[in-house]
Structure 1
Amino acid sequence: MKVKETIWRVVGITGVSALLLSMISFIDKREVGYRVDDIEVDIENTYENFFIDEEDVMSLILENKGDTVLGDAYGRVSLKEIERRVESHSFVKDAQVFRDLNGHLVVKATQNKPIARIIADNGKQAYLGEEGDILPVSSKYTARVLVLSGGYMDGLTARESIEGNEYDQKLYDLIEYISEDKFWNMQIAQLVVGQNGKVVMIPQVGDQKLEFGYAENFKSKFKRLEIFFKEIMPTKGWNTYSRVNVEYKDQLICD
């Protein structure tokens, strides 16, 4: 009796194993048999940036001479490789590639968000991205963001990112502070950063130069600038003063 049970158990295990192998073989063959008949490109424009379009993504997917993808069997298409190619674009923050229920190849790309435009004295231009990367300008689109200029920008445009540079990070924190504050984001148009790192702000309205000093002690300096914008300017007029200095501790100098 025990011998029969053992035999049937072995037969059962063997049968299940054979069935699983058959299913795996069928799936493999079916996967190879299906072909890519369409590629759908979805570019996320959360920030209304259009630095990359469908044509750019398609050229990245087919970047190697002889690549077809369309018409290729799914089993021979590397989704990870396509993701890598799309993410190689400076303005692509993230890419996901998958097959939808219709069998189409779907490429979803999320764009980098520029937070400032860099205009260096040496003529070079670039964008500073939200991840701290130095991004190239684009012929497709110009972002309406804070402008950075001055002698310090010559060095910044020569780097790939702000990572590892302590003062670059301080400038980034200052830009982020302005961008995220509703009032200052509306007031400040440009930061002129000298070779020594000192910042002069140019307002959206008026001819004043706002001498901020080094990118530090933000809250204290902006409190004093707020006094100028909300209390002094309304009573004295927009063009009474050409220079406002908050560089030094607890001082607000207007002349």
Structure 2
Amino acid sequence: MKRSLGYIKALVLVAIVCLLYGFAEKRHKSRGISEVKVEFTDSENLYVTEEVVNKLLIQNKASVSSIDKETLDLNRVEYLLNEHQMIENAEVYLTLDGKLEAIVSQRKPIGRVVGNSSFYLDKNGEIMPLSQFYSARVPLMFGFDGENVTKAYSIINYIKEDEFLKKHIIGINRQKGNKYSLELREQDFELYFGDSSNVALKFNNFKAFYKKAQKENKIDTYKKVNLQFGDQVVCTKK
């Protein structure tokens, strides 16, 4: 009898604990979001603002407090953020104290197409729209459109990764047959690159030529520098 009574007490205790836990969990979920926090992994250049991200996070509700945790769909919020044209990746989560937080990585442009239609080429070789909030300082690309811009990706991406080239090259022009010439910041000679093959070799040759010509005070004597042959630099004097 005493053993049966002990079992009954234990079952009642478990039931009470489960009831209290369920009540607390329901109350916790029904509470509104106390705060929205947005963190950008790259905070220098904001192609999308915190305000824009906030609106996506709260799913166009009038205020954060009007959303309860049970109603909030984190998967949908993440999806909306990741579908934004300026966002590369977003992770969204709720903290124990009721904060809705998002870690946002923006897309990174490496070149800007200028022409009838203007857009960026991003670090992944994909087309990226211009931002109304920030204009990237990247090489300008002339003579390109959405169909042929990716063919120059290897050239633009190599420039982005090299400090010397980023300092000196400000533009790329597309010519017939997907051949390219480059514009320099400080020099007025034409830098003919040719096609997009042997990118590393051509740029290494150019850097060696540039430093040698500058050291010998001959850099201003050329009107054209041709890199298309890969294994040599062919120069035409003024």
Q: TM-score if structure 2 supplies the norm length?
A: 0.83
Structure 2 unaligned regions, length at least 5: none
Q: Stretches of 4+ moved more than 3 A in 1?
A: 7-21, 61-64, 66-69
Pairwise CA distance, 1:89:
1.6
1:49 corresponds to which of 45, 49, 56: 45
Matches within 5 A, 1:31-42: 31-42=28-39
The equivalent of 2:102 in structure 1 is: 107
After TM superposition, give the deviation of residue 77 of structure 1 in Å: 1.0
Which of 179, 182, 198 is 2:160 aligned to?
A: 179
Aligned to 1:26: 23
C-alpha distance in structure 1 between counterparts of 2:14 and 2:123, whole Å: 53
SS in structure 1 at match of 2:201: helix
2:213–2:219 Cα contact (<8 Å) kept: no
Asked if the contact 1:201–1:209 (Cα under 8 Å) also holds between the matched residues in 2, the reply is yes
* Alignment match, 2:145: 153
CA gap 1:192/1:15 in 2 versus in 1, 3 angstroms? farther
Aligned length: 236
Counterparts of 2:79 and 2:105, CA distance in 1: 13
- Counterpart-to-counterpart distance in 2, 1:10 and 1:191: 82
Matched, 1:78 2:78: no
Alignment of 1:222 with 2:203, yes or no, is yes
Distance (whole Å) between structure 2 residues aligned to residue 91 and residue 127 of structure 1: 11
Letter in 2 for 1:42: E
Counterpart pick for 1:190 among 166, 171, 177: 171
Q: 2:111 aligns with which of 83, 91, 116?
A: 116
- Deviation per residue, 1:37-58 (Å, 9 max, x gap): 3322333325x21111122112
Residue of structure 2 equivalent to 1:245? 226
Tell me the residue number matched to 1:164: none
The separation in 1 between residues aligned to 2:192 and 2:174, in whole angstroms, is 10
Q: Residues 157-178 of structure 1, C-alpha deviation per residue, up to 9 Å, x if partnerless?
A: 7xxxxxxxxxx2x632222222
How big is the shift at 1:63?
A: 5.1
Note the alpha carbon deviations across 1:75-121, whole angstroms, 9 max, x for none: 1111221222222221112222222343222233221111221213x
Question: Structure 1, residues 214-239: CA drift from partner, whole Å, max 9, x if none?
Answer: 11112321232123201134325332
Query: Which deviates further from its counterpart, 232-241 or 177-186?
Result: 232-241
User: How far apart are 1:28 and its partner, in Å?
Assistant: 3.2
Task: Name the amino acid aligned to 1:153.
Answer: D
Instruction: Note the residue ranges of structure 1 that are not aligned, 5 or more in a row.
Output: 158-167
Of all paired residues, the percent bearing the same amino acid is 27
CA contact (8 A) 1:91 1:135 kept: yes
Structure 1 residue 31 displacement after superposition: 2.6
User: Aligned partners of 1:172, 1:20: CA distance in 2, in Å?
Assistant: 62
The letter of the residue matching 2:201 is: S
Match of 1:160 in 2: none
- Measure the CA separation in 2 of the matches of 1:23 and 1:156: 64
Deviations 1:121-148 (A, max 9, x none): xx21111122222111112111111222
RMSD of aligned residue pairs (Cα, Å): 2.9
TM-score by length of 1: 0.78
Aligned to 1:165: none
